[in-house]
Amino acid sequence: MTQGSAWVAVSEFVRRPDMVGSAVPASARMVRRMLGPLDWHRIGVLVEYGPGTGRFTFEALKRMRSDATLLAIETGEGFVEALRNSCDDHRLIVVRGTAQDVNRHLAEQGLKKANCILTGLPFSTLEPDEADAIMRESARALSSSGVLAAYQMRRAIRPLLKRHFASLRSSYEWWNIPPCHLYWARGKRLGALMAAR
């Protein structure tokens, strides 16, 4: 991380601590463990919620196919600008907005379903309605074989993942500040999507 992006991370955290969650970017080890189990050959569209300074973004780009797209959705203006300025990879699209509007952002970029959604949004501090709406829209946005990969300080996301996905794998990474729960959820439950309509 450059000095400039470290400054952006601290100032965004001070401005909106509940939305940013942590001023310390994810450790290299946690990024490797989160991204390792993903099947990169099958990922044509990856959506990342809250890329922050791009800790996961740059590592995902290294693993992605040359014809794949990474759509990064970020609420923090400072993060959006810093990420746009620090990366000129044509596969990366950075939009300022909220994860709740993922389906609109995909449509606006001419993209269909996502094969993977990667998120470190602090689900434990989101309002329950917002958290549920983000998970519902995420399940809608994923292809039938798509996977939602999440790293979280707390376990508040777990019941949401269980409600919207049939299969859930989890792990824990101590080597991070703070240590994090890691989740990979697959097999979206159509019942949960229908019930929400």
Ligand X SMILES: C[S@@+](CC[C@H](N)C(=O)[O-])C[C@H]1O[C@@H](n2cnc3c(N)ncnc32)[C@H](O)[C@@H]1O
Cβ closest to ligand X, residue 115 vs residue 152: 152
Decide: is 21 part of the binding site for ligand X (CB under 6 A): yes
Near ligand X by CB under 6 A, which window of 46-54, 85-93, 154-162, 170-178?
A: 46-54
Confirm or reject binding of residue 22 to ligand X (CB under 6 A).
yes
The answer to whether 71 contacts ligand X (rule: CB under 6 A) is no
Number of chain residues interacting with ligand X (CB under 6 A):
24
Q: Tell me which stretch binds ligand X (CB under 6 A): 45-53, 87-95, 156-164, 171-179.
A: 45-53
Question: Contacting ligand X (CB under 6 A), which of 5, 33, 43, 51?
Answer: 51
Give the residue, chosen from 5, 34, 43, 52, that forms a contact with ligand X under the rule CB under 6 A: 52
Contacting residue, 34, 60, 73, 182, with ligand X by CB under 6 A: 73
Compute the distance between CA of residue 155 and CA of residue 161 in angstroms, rounded to an integer.
10
Nearest to 9 by CA among 19, 23, 28: 23
Minimum distance of ligand X from residue 115's CB (angstroms): 19
Residue 116 binds to ligand X (criterion: CB under 6 A): no
Helix, strand, coil content of the chain in percent (nearest 5): 45, 25, 30
114 near ligand X, judged by CB under 6 A: no
Distance, CA of 145 to CA of 65 (rounded, Å): 18
Beta-carbon contacts of residue 5 (< 8 Å; ≥ 6 apart): 53, 54, 82, 86
Q: Supply the DSSP string of 144-187, one letter for each residue.
A: EEEEEEEEESSSTTHHHHHHHEEEEEEEEE-SSSS-EEEEEEEE
Binding residues (CB under 6 A) for ligand X: these are 12, 19-22, 25-26, 49-53, 55-56, 73-76, 79, 98-99, 120-122
